[in-house]
Structure 1
Amino acid sequence: MAQRGEDDLILDDPPLAEDGGRPDDRVDDERHDEDNRLKPEFVRRVREALEDEADDELYDLVEPLHPADVADLVELFDADERSDFAAAVPDLVTSEVVAELNDHVREDMMEALPAGAVAAIVEQLETDDAVQLIEDLDADDQRAILAEVEPEDRIAIESALSYPEETAGRLMNRDFVAVPEHLTVGDLIDMLRDDTGHWGDLSNDFWEVFVVDHKHHPVGTCQLSWILRTPRTIALSDVMKRDQTLIPVTMDQEELGNMFQKYGLISAAVVDDSGRLVGQMTVDDVVHIISEEAGEDVLLLSGAGDGDINEPIREAYSSRVRWLIANLGTAVVASAIIAFFGAAIEQLVALAVLMPIVASIGGNAGTQTMAVAVRAIATNQLTRANTRKILWREMRVAMLNGATVAVLIGIAVGLLFTPMLGAVIAVAMVVNIVIAGLAGVLVPVIFERLDQDPAVASSVFVTMITDSMGFFAFLGLAVASGLVSAG
């Protein structure tokens, strides 16, 4: 504790809570559980207040919550309850709350609110958040909302919407600080502190200043820490960092996330086709992108579409059923192989008992390899330059796994049935696991070479290959070994 005179600033640390944190950091036991999630009892009280139209009680319950918690609360409501909630306590449905909402929930709420109310929220948001708010709405709804927005904000939003979805142009923040390179550090500090509006509306949140030439092309950057620690007389051109990572407006968000992760960026300039500075990307937006892309790839591998519990039933059905139908078609291939060896199976029932084991282990091995390959492609670790190296690595892993599993299953089957059948299933297991490793790498790579998302349909084709080749290898070896005859 530092204490000075009566008129001086008194600096005093707030007392620690019982758990060692600050009082403001403690979880509110009345509203949150130990995992910082809203308690069912609290949600029930809010819902009852909403149903009883007790707006004052509802306001008192919700007002202390953080905007992210209010968004979680809204997502727990049914569609009609969300509209009633927004109408009952409109002051609490702030732009911060809307920005935290799930995409599907936000879209439903925006469609339920009048255009003027949505426009008021849009004007409080950064351009990238405003675009995210209205980009999925119908064209008529978008026009109605934009008509209510201030011209300057409307132009910025329309400009962002002109870029393809999931590109830097759509996602970038248009609020940044750019200065000419002839300034000194002192000039820059005076400009940043100027409140007369001479320099226009400067951004309030930024980590670095972009230095541009007369054509507004970025030529360097200055971190705020450099500016604060450098004498006023030093020219910006002498202190700025000239090497910088520039983001084209057309760059896909997945590549954008990889670039931030690879180079450890905090922010980066976004440039148009002519090289002019038009926006910036910051790490807080990119963290969201990385999380979104990771979850998206996992869901695409399973064919589950968005995988969002708030996704409309019709959309969830449409996204999932097409892959189930495709899987049905690939399963016919495996069934045809079984039918081809039908006579052999009739001679030795043990073949029918053991076939699923070969296919199942092969399928799991293929899924493991495929998951590794898809992630490596997404993070630019698997490229044209090292495809053969990665393929050979996964083949060696597959051979080791196959040999280990083959020994175990071969001994077990040899003891339960016959040594010859144990040898057959052991060899079939090695063959299928090696093929699974091969397919797990090649199928995603082929999709990527065809400019298709490797996570979309890889699992369907890898499963088909491992099932089909597992049955064929096991039954074919049984016939070739003389355990059964082909006809």
Structure 2
Amino acid sequence: MSERGEPVDPRRNNPDSHDEAPVEGAFDSADTRHDEDDRLKPGFVSAVLEAVEEGEAEQARELVSPLHPADIADLLELTPSDQRADVAAALGDLVGAEVLSELNDYVRDDLIGALAPEQVAEFAAELDTDDAVAIIEDMEEDEQQAVLEALDPEDRAAIESALAYPEESAGRLMQRDLVAVPEHMSVGQLIDYLRDNRDLTTDFWEIFVVDEAHRPIGTCQLSWVLTCPRNVAVSDLMKREQTLIPVDMDQEEVALRFQKYALISAAVVDGSGRLVGMITVDDVVHIISEEAGEDILRLSGAGEGDINEPVLDSYRTRVRWLLTNLLTALVASTIIGLFEGTIERMVALATLMPIVAGVGGNAGSQTMAVTVRALATNQITASNTRRTIVREMRVALLNGGTVAVVLGIGVSLVFLNPALGAVIASAMLVNIVTAGLAGVSVPLAFDRLNLDPAVASSIFVTMITDSMGFLAFLGLATAAGLTG
């Protein structure tokens, strides 16, 4: 990878290093490329696309060259899919390895599909192992093999080793380029070692101290090394307490550990406790954002929810959810059919039914969202599950009582029918309490079954709140003998 070999040129991919045009700061009020939210302006994107369409590749390069790789990735994502290949070709080597690593998965796959295996291998060799794996892992098996064969043996071995671990595990996420030293070194020897070895990684914040079996026994922050006398032993300087990440740990659990212990980097160990890599906080920030977005999209049944996802893929993901929702909606419809006679005698019931079901559904969604988030962040454990359920039921009772009183008084005044007001108030209270119970118990049940509570909880919670809302309202109305 790029950390091995000659030191990286600090001017590479640095906006301040380009000679073509002066660089304006990301938040410069005179910046003609970014708006106040640091997004590329539509006018700038249009200017680049127009230059490419007119065959003015050099002009397009001059416009784009001051941009950070992440901004160039944004530009390609904002480009219509049928023009991306032309834009990438016009920009040439400005679309480098760092740009590919910043791209949306679907956009990157489109661009990589147009490249030769040797070109992809060249890009992969410039990146950290985790970023290189992200580029290669979704390729077709034959294309993936061609890229691996084009890599240097050392890079190929590192990437193949990472690909052998499960997806979304620490093994896929970790970087293999790190600094590990024995504990018998002194600070002076360590500094000399760092200065003299050009094959070491150039990006690190922490030095790992290992024993003879290459098991991590402590860590040293760079600030400690730089501020200690040269004769101090590393074993006296290092911090022995550290958070070790098993190589097969799920990336979501990795992110939770970084958040809990305020980590900047952490050692990754294999089954025998040997140091095999490290994970840094910049990768974890990406995971936190990705996992949070996934949970929200799963709750809505929108799949990956990527605007660059092919239309047919989005259709297949969403239609399955909608058809399942259709089946659960039939349950509520069947309950309404059981009270057809009551509705015929008092048409106002048909007008008020959606209110009971709708408010109950929202109450259930609130509780479900809180529960799913708490499960995802390990806030709910076996020791506090019962307490969590009791808490949500208390909240549901307070909410239900408040909404029931307001709705009951309103219906009584509008329809001049206190009995109808009492019925809908009672039904609302019952449904919101039921919604609270369903909103917390359904995700917990899925979690206990080792199923993702974000995937199917909303369908079942909606079915329960709709069905119970109609049953409570129409059942109470029938029992009260309301005839209009």
TM-score (norm 2): 0.93
Aligned to 2:50: 48
Give a deviation string over 1:160-209, Cα, whole Å, max 9, x none: 001111000011011110011111111111111114x5xxx211111111
Opposite residue 51 of structure 1, the aligned amino acid is E
The correspondence for 1:151, drawn from 150, 153, 162, is 153
- Write out aligned runs for 1:406-485 (5 A): 406-417=404-415, 418-484=417-483
For 1:157, what is the secondary structure of its paired residue? helix
Aligned to 1:251: 249
CA contact (8 A) 1:27 1:36 kept: no
For 2:240, what is the secondary structure of its paired residue? coil
Pairwise CA distance, 1:374: 0.4
**Structure 2 CA distance, aligned partners of 1:234 and 1:120?**
42
Opposite residue 298 of structure 2, the aligned amino acid is L
The reply on whether 1:113 has 2:111 as its aligned counterpart is no
Aligned to 1:313: 311
**Structure 2 CA distance, aligned partners of 1:419 and 1:308?**
50
CA contact (8 A) 1:83 1:113 kept: no
Pairwise CA distance, 1:482: 2.4
Aligned to 1:9: none
CA contact (8 A) 1:443 1:462 kept: yes
**Structure 2 CA distance, aligned partners of 1:300 and 1:285?**
22
Q: 1:314 to 1:27 in 2, by over 3 A?
A: farther
Pairwise CA distance, 1:476: 0.8
Aligned to 2:218: 220
Pairwise CA distance, 1:151: 1.0
The correspondence for 1:163, drawn from 162, 165, 175, is 165
Opposite residue 72 of structure 2, the aligned amino acid is V
The reply on whether 1:87 has 2:81 as its aligned counterpart is no
The reply on whether 1:304 has 2:302 as its aligned counterpart is yes
Pairwise CA distance, 1:113: 1.3
The correspondence for 2:139, drawn from 137, 140, 149, is 137
CA contact (8 A) 2:27 2:36 kept: no
For 2:231, what is the secondary structure of its paired residue? coil
**Structure 2 CA distance, aligned partners of 1:304 and 1:294?**
14
TM-score (norm 1): 0.92
**Structure 2 CA distance, aligned partners of 1:409 and 1:247?**
53
| Runs of 5+ consecutive residues of structure 1 not aligned to the other structure | 1-21
CA contact (8 A) 2:358 2:466 kept: yes
- Write out aligned runs for 1:371-386 (5 A): 371-386=369-384
Aligned to 2:236: 238
Q: 1:25 to 1:191 in 2, by over 3 A?
A: farther
Pairwise CA distance, 1:148: 1.2
Q: Which has the higher contact order (CA 8 A, sep 6+)?
A: 2
Aligned to 1:67: 69
CA contact (8 A) 1:370 1:441 kept: yes
RMSD of Structure 2 on Structure 1 (CA): 1.4
CA contact (8 A) 1:32 1:38 kept: yes
Q: 1:28 to 1:131 in 2, by over 3 A?
A: farther
Opposite residue 472 of structure 2, the aligned amino acid is A
Give a deviation string over 1:64-114, Cα, whole Å, max 9, x none: 111111111101112332111222222110111111111110111111111
For 1:383, what is the secondary structure of its paired residue? coil
- Write out aligned runs for 1:320-359 (5 A): 320-359=318-357
Aligned to 1:281: 279
Opposite residue 397 of structure 1, the aligned amino acid is V
Pairwise CA distance, 1:55: 1.3
Pairwise CA distance, 1:318: 1.3
| Runs of 5+ consecutive residues of structure 2 not aligned to the other structure | 1-23
Aligned to 2:9: none
Pairwise CA distance, 1:336: 0.3
Identity %: 66
CA contact (8 A) 1:111 1:141 kept: no
**Structure 2 CA distance, aligned partners of 1:79 and 1:466?**
42
Give a deviation string over 1:335-360, Cα, whole Å, max 9, x none: 00000111111111111111100000
Pairwise CA distance, 1:23: 5.7
**Structure 2 CA distance, aligned partners of 1:82 and 1:124?**
23
Give a deviation string over 1:230-261, Cα, whole Å, max 9, x none: 22212111111111100001111111111100
